[in-house]
Structure 1
Amino acid sequence: MMFSVTKQSINKMTPLGVFLSGFLLVSNFFASPVLAAPAELGAVKGDLTGGDPLGSMQWPDMKGQFFDADAKTVFDSRIKVTVPLFAEDAMNVPVSFDASALGKVKKIVVLVDRNPIRKVLEFIPEKAKPALNFRFKLEQASPIRVAALTENGVWHVGYAFIEASGGGCTVPGATRADGSWPQTLNKVAGKMFDANQLRDDARLRVQVSHPMDTGLVAGVPAFYIEEMILQDKNKQVLAKLYPFEPVSENPLFSFDFDKKPVGPISLVGRDNNGNRIDAKVTQ
């Protein structure tokens, strides 16, 4: 709905009328983005986006790249994806997801449509909840996808959109810039947060010191953690995580469990240069 207010009509208005007219103009200005909500764009663009609720032209290509040709994918709002409206620091964009509402989840893949490296990580929950908190690098404003594979072979896709000024994938991290990364490489810090009056489950937070280079900075090859495995005291696998280059420098991950695992928890893994990760998290 549009409003037209001329100079002559304003002269004829009472002060209250002028105020209301201004209010309508301002309201119309702020309301206009709602009329073009991302959920409507997929319908407008039709088959060109494969029915994507965010209207992304990249989605059909991503389906072909990251899923089997006969894989069934459905957009599913039961997957909660939480991101900032605007990425203030494009090298450290926080994201959390929770696919617990789907029941048993075999595998989760996180993808970013407009990143030069689209796959962010793969997560196999095993004994953990199908939920994760972490940070990643964002090159430009983009949809982010959280695809969860259930036992019936269906990929359920949650989604969100992040605005950004960009550049997060193509600049060196702080430890790369100051040269300090060799002194801290693959050191691990962690803590287990027990159940309390606010929650009846447990959370494990671990951070690994690593530059997580994307390979997109001149003279700096790709150098990133490629495998992390959590084990309990009895060497039972709790979760498997496969990060890729877009995960932020010195990555911090939060894992959730229905009940506290038997500790101490071990974290083992490696980066793409063969450097080992081997640490225990005291509780």
Structure 2
Amino acid sequence: MTHPFFRAVLTALLASVAYGSTWAQVAHADDPFHSFAWPDLHKAYLGGEPFVFDARVQVSGPAFAEDPMNVPISVDAKDLPDVTQIVVLVDRNPIRKVLAYYPQQALLPRVSFRFKMEQASPVRAAAKTKDGVWHVGSTWVESSGGGCTVAGATRQDGSWSKTLGLVSSRVFDQSPDPAQSTNHGARLRLRVMHPMDTGLVGGIPAFYLNRLQVSSSTGEPLLKMDLFEPVSENPVFSFDFAQRIPGPLVLTGTDNNGNRVAAQIE
């Protein structure tokens, strides 16, 4: 006969397993890709906070990643009000979190970039609004894989040390008719030279940009980004401003080894 204490422990364990299974089923039910990784992603990277799958968060990418080390992705959450943060996650990557983007008032909640992909996977963007709810959009990208476990071109040829931290950038006029208005917004496109090593290639430790910030000429932060290992080598980003911002802008940042990035954007 089982001792009452052990029966109580067994009952608690079974209840815990049942609750976990129920939660996974609930979190999985509305997922357009029915990914068993989603409940873990939600808990680990979105803090287990309230979320909805929302078509207003548009994630655009290629049907097939011809180059798994440079997979282009665009996220557009402009139809959501009061977006405070956008987090990009890849279900089947060995390192699942790609970046977190914090658009300030001057920017539209849109961002484009490239990342490394290890295998075919859902790619998700979770946009958090001021009410504390995450709105999750996603797309599926097929891939031959291996993007996270291969050294980048500048690492292979040794040129990375000569270009580390160099910045190139340009501000584009987004106005459909500049003659009609002088305030129709702008697009900022910038590139920062960095090998962005994942740490998953033998003998090459993780070495990546971990933070970027763009500020106005008066020091007001316009956007902030936390970056992680899956962002592509020599990353290129595009951001959209709701209004034209008088220049020059200032880019600052760091990598995980303490190297600093600093540049003026005209």
Quick check: TM above 0.5?
Answer: yes
Following TM superposition, by how much is the alpha carbon of 1:49 offset from its aligned partner in structure 2, in angstroms?
2.2
Give the root-mean-square deviation of aligned CA atoms. 1.5
Q: What residue is the counterpart of 1:135 in the other structure? A: 114
User: Structure 1 residue runs of 4+, over 2 Å off?
Assistant: 45-51, 195-201
Which 5+ residue runs of structure 1 have no aligned equivalent? 1-44
Q: What residue is the counterpart of 1:238 in the other structure? A: 222
The TM-score, its normalising length taken from structure 1, stands at 0.81
Q: What residue is the counterpart of 1:102 in the other structure? A: 80
Q: What residue is the counterpart of 1:273 in the other structure? A: 257
Report 1:255-274 matches (<5 A). Answer: 255-274=239-258
Q: What residue is the counterpart of 2:50 in the other structure? A: 72
Following TM superposition, by how much is the alpha carbon of 1:161 offset from its aligned partner in structure 2, in angstroms?
0.5
Q: What residue is the counterpart of 2:92 in the other structure? A: 114
Which amino acid letter does the alignment assign opposite residue 276 of structure 1? Answer: R
Q: Of the candidates 13, 22, 39, which is equivalent to residue 60 of structure 1?
A: 39
1:48, 1:57 within 8 Å by CA — same for their partners in 2?
no
Which amino acid letter does the alignment assign opposite residue 211 of structure 1? Answer: P
- C-alpha distance in 2, partners of 1:107/1:237? 14
**Secondary structure at the counterpart of residue 146 of structure 2:** coil
2:27, 2:38 within 8 Å by CA — same for their partners in 1?
no
Q: Of the candidates 187, 203, 209, which is equivalent to residue 187 of structure 2?
A: 203
Following TM superposition, by how much is the alpha carbon of 1:47 offset from its aligned partner in structure 2, in angstroms?
4.1
Q: What residue is the counterpart of 1:183 in the other structure? A: 162
Q: Cα gap change, 1:48/1:243 in structure 2, threshold over 3 Å: closer, same or farther?
A: closer
Greater share of helix: 1
2:30, 2:53 within 8 Å by CA — same for their partners in 1?
no
- Answer yes or no: is 1:90 the counterpart of 2:68: yes
- C-alpha distance in 1, partners of 2:116/2:47? 26
- Answer yes or no: is 1:162 the counterpart of 2:146: no
Q: Of the candidates 125, 131, 153, which is equivalent to residue 146 of structure 1?
A: 125
Q: Cα gap change, 1:51/1:204 in structure 2, threshold over 3 Å: closer, same or farther?
A: same
**Secondary structure at the counterpart of residue 51 of structure 2:** strand
Q: Cα gap change, 1:151/1:47 in structure 2, threshold over 3 Å: closer, same or farther?
A: closer
Question: What's the CA shift string for 1:138-164, capped at 9, x where partnerless?
Answer: 000000110011011100001110000
Following TM superposition, by how much is the alpha carbon of 1:57 offset from its aligned partner in structure 2, in angstroms?
1.1
User: Greater Rg, structure 1 or structure 2?
Assistant: 1
Q: Cα gap change, 1:150/1:48 in structure 2, threshold over 3 Å: closer, same or farther?
A: closer
Which amino acid letter does the alignment assign opposite residue 168 of structure 2? Answer: A
Q: Cα gap change, 1:48/1:267 in structure 2, threshold over 3 Å: closer, same or farther?
A: closer
2:99, 2:226 within 8 Å by CA — same for their partners in 1?
yes
**Secondary structure at the counterpart of residue 107 of structure 2:** coil
Question: What's the CA shift string for 1:168-205, capped at 9, x where partnerless?
Answer: 00000000000000000010000000133279321000
Q: Of the candidates 244, 248, 253, which is equivalent to residue 232 of structure 2?
A: 248
**Secondary structure at the counterpart of residue 55 of structure 2:** coil
Q: Cα gap change, 1:47/1:152 in structure 2, threshold over 3 Å: closer, same or farther?
A: closer
The TM-score, its normalising length taken from structure 2, stands at 0.86
1:50, 1:59 within 8 Å by CA — same for their partners in 2?
no
- C-alpha distance in 2, partners of 1:173/1:133? 20
Structure with higher RCO (Cα < 8 A, 6+ apart)? 2
Between the aligned residues of both structures, percent identity stands at 53
Which amino acid letter does the alignment assign opposite residue 217 of structure 1? Answer: V
1:50, 1:60 within 8 Å by CA — same for their partners in 2?
no
Which 5+ residue runs of structure 2 have no aligned equivalent? 1-23, 179-183
